Amino acid sequence: MSITIKTPEEQQKMREAGQAAAEVLLMIAPHVKAGVSTDEINRLCHEFIVAQGDIPAPLNYGGAPGRMPFPKSICTSVNHVVCHGIPGPKVLKKGDVINIDVTVIRDGFHGDTSQMFYVGEPSILARRLTETTHEAMIEGINRVAPGVRLGDIGHAIQQYIEQRGFSVVREYCGHGIGRVFHEDPQVLHYGRPGTGIELQEGMTFTIEPMVNAGRADIKLLPDAWTVVTKDHSLSAQWEHTILVTPTGHEVLTLRNGAL
Ligand code: MF3
Ligand code: CO
Ligand code: CO
């Protein structure tokens, strides 16, 4: 597959899909509290998405020989879960941190975004990891412009995280996005400056660093979806969908104008 350049009309559809995804996170925020199950969070998001006339992209996505398709409409990744947590009977308790990852399809185009939530008061470590991961994503986003290379972005993210004593997950990355959920290019959250493809106006892709408090190593659970830290340390992630503009970038998944 090759990288698709979006026309102005397609860029407008990506803007609308991005906002549709962001609105799901705004809707769910007040419901993320102790005593609520991840299934209930999934149910509320699913109902909201379909009521808007949109499609939850994760539902039935990514089946393969030996792997069931993803069975729910969002991903809920709690504490040491790195990504792709499957909503279920697990009930949130005070001190948990959770990433909720929403991807919707509106009028044929995908918007993909995720955010961390605190359940009650987080530990000092959980807050520092969550904030550092958000800042690292912004470091990457801020570099996006025509002519910049993907390695410049990955390097900026990696450096920011490692300077603060945390580690970048290698096995999962950001991705091109459009009519297709995961398209080229792969957007690594680590790398060397001056390497990788050059960004061009009209590209759309996600930046979604996964950061572990301990070692970078991960393990896939037997459900073939849930990714956890091998050392059971905490993990955090944030994600936005970005458009490359003539002068820099536009974040398509802002929530009320904020990152
Ligand atoms: N939303 C995830 C991403 O950022 C992908 C989830 S795929 C699923 O790319 F099948 F696990 F939902
Ligand atoms: Co993504
Ligand atoms: Co996502």
Neighbours of 9 (CB within 10 A): 8
pTM over 0.95: yes
Instruction: Give residues (CB < 6 A) around ligand 1.
Output: 58, 61-62, 70, 75, 84, 101, 103, 112, 206, 208, 225, 239
Closest atom, ligand 1, to C-alpha of 75: 12
How much distance in Å is there from the Cα of 92 to the middle of ligand 1? 21
Both tokens assigned to 47: 């109902």
Angstrom distance (rounded) from CA 113 to CA 104: 9
Within a domain: 178: yes
| Amino acid, res. 122 | P
Closest atom, ligand 1, to C-alpha of 58: 12
Closest atom, ligand 1, to C-alpha of 84: 11
Q: What is the pLDDT of residues 5-27, one digit of tens each?
A: 999 999 999 999 999 999 999 99
Within a domain: 214: yes
Both tokens assigned to 80: 């040491």
How much distance in Å is there from the Cα of 206 to the middle of ligand 3? 8
Domain that holds residue 106: 8-251
Strand partners, 100: 76, 115
Q: Read off the CATH number of the domain in which 208 is found.
A: 3.90.230.10
Within a domain: 1: no
Within a domain: 111: yes
Q: What is the pLDDT of residues 109-157, one digit of tens each?
A: 999 999 999 999 999 999 999 999 999 999 999 999 999 999 999 999 9
Query: Crossing angle, helix 150-162 and helix 124-142, to 10 degrees?
Result: 160
Closest atom, ligand 1, to C-alpha of 103: 1
Q: Whose CA is nearest to atom 7 of ligand 1?
A: 58
Angstrom distance (rounded) from CA 154 to CA 141: 10
Within a domain: 148: yes
The preferred substitution site among 38, 68, 103, 188 for testing ligand 1, maximizing ligand atoms within 8 Å of CB, is 103
Q: What is the pLDDT of residues 29-41, one digit of tens each?
A: 999 999 999 999 9
Angstrom distance (rounded) from CA 142 to CA 225: 31
Within a domain: 256: no
Name which of 20, 76, 80 is nearest 50 in CA terms. Answer: 20
Number of structural domains, the chain? 1
Angstrom distance (rounded) from CA 153 to CA 241: 14
Within a domain: 2: no
Torsional sign, CA 179, 253, 188, 224? negative
Q: Which residue has the tokens 């990852």?
A: 101
Angstrom distance (rounded) from CA 132 to CA 237: 10
pLDDT score of 236 more than 80:
yes
Within a domain: 257: no
CA distances from 125 to 96, 98, 178, 233 (A): 12, 14, 36, 10
